[in-house]
Structure 1
Amino acid sequence: MRDPSFRRSAALFRAFLREQSDPEHVYSLLARDAVRQVERYVPLRDRVVVDVGGGSGHFTEEFRRRGAQAYLFEPDPRELLAHGRTPSGAVLADGYLLPLADGVADVCFSSNVLEHVADPYTFLSEMVRVTRPGGLIYVSFTNWLSPWGGHETAPWHYLGAGRARERYRRRTGRAAKHTVGVNLFPLHIGPTLRHVRGRSDVTVVRARSRYWPFLAGAVTRIPGLREFATWNLLLILRRSSS
């Protein structure tokens, strides 16, 4: 599917509605879409790809199908085993301190992880560290003020995280997976863009809405509106040579 396009966005949003009931379909579709995005910037055959926080490995497996030497680093053993399928060579590792030498990756990839770490800028620095000069860094996150910012408790997070969790518990009879301040942190587009643009070790190749069907880059350039309309910010960064 062409990116961006209404057809692609509609397919992704329909899939997200089935995340709880059919995660295999959702994450397989998302992996194919994300890896196609990466291939716009770098051929993948025989390239070393580091997948940071890739859960049970859908992204890693898709990179391997495209010919890359892909490796999964995931800090949560429950996520590694969540769907009964873990790629060979997966490593239980913290994204703040990857067990890798400097500059080993041609591509460092992280999908929808940044909002789940307390110190996202240190996390980004570690991704940059393990990427070779000239290499590509793909990072996306769901910003807090987007309609999906509260994850499974959205859109009630607009009324407060605690209230949203309580509503979720009453409605489903179980606790929400994510707790603000524990494994979900409010992250905003404006400060994140200022941070990456102010770094000397990367250049910003693209900053865009990951799922938006048109003008995907334009929406991220409008202060205020971008915090609500972007849904999910995708950053394509290039590791600086010096």
Structure 2
Amino acid sequence: MRATDPFARQATLARSVRLLGEFRFEQSDPPRFYGALADDTVALVTALVDGDPAGSTLLDVGGGPGYFASAFEAAGLNYLGVEPDASEMHAGPAGEPGAGTFVRASGMALPFADDSVDVCLSSNVAEHVPDPWRMGREMLRVTRPGGLVVLSYTVWFGPFGGHEMGLTHYLGGARAAERYARKHGHRPKNDYGSSLFAVSAADGLAWAQSTGMLVAAFPRYHPRWAWWMTHVPVLREFLVSNLVLVLRPS
């Protein structure tokens, strides 16, 4: 059985359409959007875990406002969230009862011992740090041998690579950020060069393969029949949108 088989059965066209519909609520109704994304992320991670995930310790690198915490706790996992931005942590349910435990720290220097967690997750964070593969190495370091590392990120040349800047990122990241600032009177939250970086699918695959621990790579929001795109150079940069790297530390 392939590593992705348990999740592949859930990766239907109906799921893709449902998630795409939720994206329009990211700015106007964050609890709705992130709640739907949290439920889907729990389904993804628990399907990839070997055996019953209940009682496992999950570290969420870049846990943000904490919308994932209650969903993972409800699934029986012990949730730890890492977030460097205090304002981001206070923008949601982080710290509330049942919302796991949060630590303010950088994903590129995780304050945890080697081999100390069962599952390490990073959802849509790699494109926001200047050295995403340093963060990836930290995730592998803190995960026990035989555990699970899931690193999912937005591919720069995909349609969502520019985040709130929309498709203008195809004009160049710096130019898109300047254009956004002129139009809205302030810099974008995801500002190219400081809080948003161009991360390619090729770079992620190359790093993951170099570790010798990669067991699967696939587009996060695509139905199973479209996963072949991951294996086609150039095409994957534009069509994969969000790449999932699944690694098992040894």
Q: Scaled by the length of structure 1, what TM-score is found?
A: 0.93
The answer on 1:158 being equivalent to 2:170 is yes
Distance in 2 (CA, whole Å) between partners of 1:196 and 1:174 is: 36
Alignment: residue pair count: 238
Distance in 1 (CA, whole Å) between partners of 2:101 and 2:25 is: 29
CA contact (8 A) 1:208 1:216 kept: no
The answer on 1:215 being equivalent to 2:225 is yes
The answer on 1:187 being equivalent to 2:194 is no
The answer on 1:17 being equivalent to 2:29 is no
Pairwise CA distance, 1:63? 1.0
Of stretches 86-95 and 58-67 in structure 1, the one that deviates more from structure 2 is 86-95
The alignment partner of 1:17 has SS state of: helix
Q: Identify unmatched segments of 5+ residues in structure 2.
A: 1-6
**2:234 alignment partner in structure 1:** 224
**1:66 alignment partner in structure 2:** 75
The alignment partner of 1:132 has SS state of: strand
Amino acid at match of 1:191: D
Pairwise CA distance, 1:78? 1.1
Alpha carbons of 1:11 and 1:173: their partners in 2 closer, same or farther (altered >3 Å)? Answer: farther
**2:160 alignment partner in structure 1:** 148
**2:124 alignment partner in structure 1:** 112
Amino acid at match of 1:104: S
**2:10 alignment partner in structure 1:** 3
The answer on 1:199 being equivalent to 2:208 is no
Pairwise CA distance, 1:61? 1.8
Distance in 1 (CA, whole Å) between partners of 2:229 and 2:43 is: 22
Alpha carbons of 1:222 and 1:92: their partners in 2 closer, same or farther (altered >3 Å)? Answer: same
The root-mean-square deviation of aligned C-alpha atoms, in Å, is 1.6
If each structure's helix is expressed as a fraction of its own residues, which one has the higher value?
Answer: 2
Q: Scaled by the length of structure 2, what TM-score is found?
A: 0.90
- Deviation readout 1:106-156 (Å, 9 max, x if unpaired): 100110000111011110000000000000001100010001101110211
Distance in 1 (CA, whole Å) between partners of 2:215 and 2:201 is: 16
- Residue 88 of structure 2: which of 70, 79, 102 is its match? 79
Kindly, what percent of the aligned residue pairs are identical?
43
The alignment partner of 1:139 has SS state of: strand
The answer on 1:94 being equivalent to 2:106 is yes
The alignment partner of 1:94 has SS state of: coil
**1:41 alignment partner in structure 2:** 48
The alignment partner of 1:223 has SS state of: coil
Distance in 2 (CA, whole Å) between partners of 1:122 and 1:88 is: 25
